[in-house]
Amino acid sequence: MEHTNAIELVGITKAFGTKVVANKNVSMELRQGEILALLGENGSGKTTLMNMIAGIYTPDQGKIYVRGQEVTIKSPIDAYSYHIGMIHQHFKLVDLFTAADNIILGEHFHAEPSDGQNKGAAFFKRAGKRLAFGWLKHNRVKQLQTIVDQYGFNIDLSRKIYDMSVSEKQTVEIIKALYRGAEILILDEPTAVLTPQEIDKLFAVLRRMRQDGKSIIIITHKLNEVMAISDRVCVLRKGEHIATVETAATTEKELTDMMVGQKIDLAIERKEPVNPKPRLIIKDMTALNKEGRLALDHVSFEINGGEILGIAGISGNGQRELLEGIAGLQPLVEGEAIFNNPKENKPVTFFHKDLKQIKRMAEEGFFHYPDGTRVSLKGFKNKEIVKLVNDEKILFYEDEVIDLKQKTPREIQELGIKLSFVPEDRLSMGLVGNMSIVDNMMLRGYRKGRSIFLNRRRPKQLADTIIKDLEVVTPSDMTPVRRLSGGNVQKILVGREISSSPKVLMAAYPVRGLDINSSYTIYNLLNAQKEKNVAVIFVGEDLDVLLALCDRILVLCGGKVSGVVDARKVTKEEIGLLMTTVPEEVQVYRYEQEQDKEEVPHD
């Protein structure tokens, strides 16, 4: 019978622009009174699909049926009139108001839900009618509180939103949706921001709502949650519907297979790392995210020069904090990032060390002459030392070790640590959208030199080289980067970051939103860096790419390292499982050689 379906989608297609097809001919249904899990990797089109039900987007093709009736949903308000409520990842709440005021905010909601069959909604309906007139009652909080308590939510509605934790805010959003008469609830990755205890509470609430006859779609990546809460699972991959199965009749392994699909050979060239030596050693890195929640939990690993380390994980599992932590943009609660500056048998220069430092380091035995004898500068005149240095006669014995912990990006830059970083949001962090390509080239190096004026000659040369070598499509090198397409913007950014011949290159989702050709350009650039003995960190979402490009893959889950695997041997499914399993025990990593080395004085 048609009417058992709360929602039915038939042949939904949605494209953004001409290139990106978010959903391709998707059909699925949500039954009355069930919890349906929507499963898929990042970019598989889950959120877009749900946004079409919630009235944020309208589909290009296809039909939506609500309770058997074909509908067009043009706005979120429209969705509420069909009793559909969506809880987005970014909450739409007024921080300054109490929870109660947020719930009753707005005037256009239709407090006419249900056909009388639904107890829970009737509660909220009555409450809505009682409070829906202009005068705000003094005891509105109390009235609402009674209803909410009866329903089993454990929340104090008289508190202000800014005082609340993420989980409480989420509860407020759920109550808000119910108060507006939602019978069908869509939750977009509700567990991503919650602790295990909070997740349990949320699931209890969801089960209670199911008892009340509500139909619920929950978007998630975590398989254990899917198994725990859902009645059925719908799997999307690259915008297409793969299958919808009964949860009881499937296994985590089967779901992973459906989610990640068959391994595709991408034919990305991969050479064996040459002379890999630890370049960057991360120890117990722990950091909080914007909301003050633990985003990185004692993450430890090392990366060698001359290899590409892939970082896999569902987005929001600490990747951003990890990279920003290394780059000095994210304050660390704990942990260190040790940088091994490869200096062995390389001459010391005045570029990053002044005379005083060189003298001191010589006393501490850091240098040797080309013939291998130890350098002692006692009794030398300054002039003579300068000559020796300039003639490249003084060489390092071993690599220079620098701790990046709690250093600002500028300090890191001034120490001469060639750390390049291609951040995730290119136009709000790595580049300035309204500036020309040339001016964006200067961002990293404009400070160089004593002149108070900018030198645009070299950035211009660099811009022109990048435009030519990477085949950037642009009217000119003076075009604001905002006007370029995504792929060209990324080429500009990656090109600039590589141009400083880095020792460590970090790239977060560098091929996101790029077409195939641009993506391969980026892969080749990363490979070329690897051959130059650069340590490359590649944060990616496409497992096929990670498997084909990287030498080793580190998997993050819940801010912890759930595994470091050899990319040549591992299978997609193994990574998929690691990505969705939070490790119980954190392996505390120790770097043995640390004790042997004295920290090199700098500043």
Partner 1 sequence: MSIFLAMIQEAIHYGMVFLFGSTGETLIEKSGHLNLGVPGIMCLGAVGGGLGAHWAHQAGAGAAGIMVVSLLMTILLAGAGGLLYGLFTITMRCNQNVTGLTLTTFGAGVLGFWGTQMSNKGITFTEPSRIAFTSPLFFSGEVPDNWFCQLFLSYGFLVYFAILIAIIAAVVLKHTRVGLSLRAVGENPAAADAAGINVIKYKYISCVVGAAIAGIGGTFFLMDASRGTPEYIIDAMGWLAVALVIFSLWRPAIGIAGSIVFGFLYRLPYNISALTVVTLADKELIKMIPYAVTALVLIVISFFNKRETQPPASLGVPYFREDR
Partner 2 sequence: MTKHVHEPLVHLSRRLNVSQKYAWAIRIGAFVLSMLACALITMIIAPEVGFGAFFTHLFEGTFGKPRLTWTLFRDVAILLLLALAVTPCFKMKYWNIGGEGQALMGCIGAALIVKTLSGTMPLIVVALIALVVAIGFGAVWAVVPALFKAKWNTNETLLTLMFNYIAGCIGAFLVKKLNPRTTGSMSFLKTLGDFGKIGDNQFALIIIIVAVITVLMAVYLKYSKHGYEIAVVGESPRTARYVGIHNKVVVIRTLVLCGVLCGIAGFLIVVLKDQSFKAESATDTTMGGLGFTAVLVSWLAHFNPWAMVLTSFLVVFITTGCAHVSSFGGLRSATYPSVMAGIFFFFIIATEFFINFKITFRKRGEIPREPDDLPPEPKTKVEAATAANANA
Residues that bind partner 2 (CB under 8 A): 16-17, 19-20, 57-58, 74-75, 78, 81, 327, 329, 408-413, 421, 423, 427-435, 439, 442-444, 446-447, 451-454, 456, 473-476, 479, 482-483, 485-486
Of these, 96, 204, 264, 528, which contacts partner 1 (CB under 8 A)? 96
**How many residues contact partner 1, by CB under 8 A?**
24
Residue 20, token pair as written in the block = 């990106």
Choose the one of partner 1, partner 2, none that binds residue 92, judging by a C-beta under 5 to 8 angstroms depending on kind.
partner 1
**Segment interacting with partner 1 (CB under 8 A) among 103-111, 241-249, 507-515, 536-544:** 103-111
Sequence-distant (6+) residues with CB within 8 A of 305 are: 275, 276, 277, 278, 279, 342, 503, 533, 534, 535
Kindly state the smallest distance separating residue 58's Cβ from partner 1, in Å: 14
User: Rule CB under 8 A: is residue 74 a binding residue for partner 1?
Assistant: no
Q: For residue 214, how far is the Cα from the chain centroid?
A: 32
155 near 163, Cβ under 8 Å? no
Residue 445, token pair as written in the block = 């190096």
Of these, 8, 34, 41, 101, which contacts partner 1 (CB under 8 A)? 101
User: Rule CB under 8 A: is residue 108 a binding residue for partner 1?
Assistant: yes
User: Rule CB under 8 A: is residue 143 a binding residue for partner 1?
Assistant: no
Query: Looking at beta carbons only, is 224 or 408 nearer to partner 2?
Result: 408
Q: In one letter, which amino acid is 87?
A: I
Q: For residue 335, how far is the Cα from the chain centroid?
A: 21
Q: In one letter, which amino acid is 519?
A: S
580 near 221, Cβ under 8 Å? yes
333 burial (CB, 10 Å; 0-12 / 13-18 / 19+) is middle
Strand 84-87: give its sheet, edge to edge.
84-87, 184-188, 215-220, 35-39, 232-237, 240-246
């990287």: which residue's tokens? 550
Choose the one of partner 2, partner 1, none that binds residue 408, judging by a C-beta under 5 to 8 angstroms depending on kind.
partner 2
28 near 242, Cβ under 8 Å? no
Of these, 10, 15, 20, 105, which contacts partner 1 (CB under 8 A)? 105
Q: How many CA atoms lie within 13 A of 371 on its CB side?
A: 2
Kindly state the smallest distance separating residue 18's Cβ from partner 2, in Å: 8
User: Rule CB under 8 A: is residue 123 a binding residue for partner 1?
Assistant: no
**Segment interacting with partner 1 (CB under 8 A) among 127-135, 328-336, 346-354, 389-397:** 127-135
Q: What is the DSSP secondary-structure string of 346-362?
A: -B--TTT--HHHHHHHH
User: Rule CB under 8 A: is residue 21 a binding residue for partner 1?
Assistant: no
User: Rule CB under 8 A: is residue 159 a binding residue for partner 1?
Assistant: no
Please give the angle made by the CA atoms of 18, 20 and 26, to the nearest 5 degrees.
110
Of these, 16, 69, 70, 92, which contacts partner 1 (CB under 8 A)? 92
Binding to partner 1, residues 438-477 (CB under 8 A): none
Alpha-carbon span 184 to 85, nearest angstrom = 6
Of these, 11, 68, 106, 331, which contacts partner 1 (CB under 8 A)? 106
Kindly state the smallest distance separating residue 291's Cβ from partner 1, in Å: 16
Kindly state the smallest distance separating residue 135's Cβ from partner 2, in Å: 27
Dmax (CA) for the chain in angstroms is 97
User: Rule CB under 8 A: is residue 292 a binding residue for partner 1?
Assistant: no
Other Cβ atoms less than 10 A from the Cβ of 31: the count is: 15
Kindly state the smallest distance separating residue 593's Cβ from partner 1, in Å: 46
Alpha-carbon span 245 to 253, nearest angstrom = 13
Choose the one of partner 2, partner 1, none that binds residue 133, judging by a C-beta under 5 to 8 angstroms depending on kind.
partner 1
User: Rule CB under 8 A: is residue 80 a binding residue for partner 1?
Assistant: yes
Choose the one of partner 1, partner 2, none that binds residue 106, judging by a C-beta under 5 to 8 angstroms depending on kind.
partner 1
User: Rule CB under 8 A: is residue 77 a binding residue for partner 1?
Assistant: yes
Kindly state the smallest distance separating residue 436's Cβ from partner 2, in Å: 11
User: Rule CB under 8 A: is residue 57 a binding residue for partner 1?
Assistant: no
Choose the one of partner 1, partner 2, none that binds residue 136, judging by a C-beta under 5 to 8 angstroms depending on kind.
partner 1
362 near 389, Cβ under 8 Å? no
Q: In one letter, which amino acid is 334?
A: E
User: Rule CB under 8 A: is residue 162 a binding residue for partner 1?
Assistant: yes
Other Cβ atoms less than 10 A from the Cβ of 469: the count is: 12
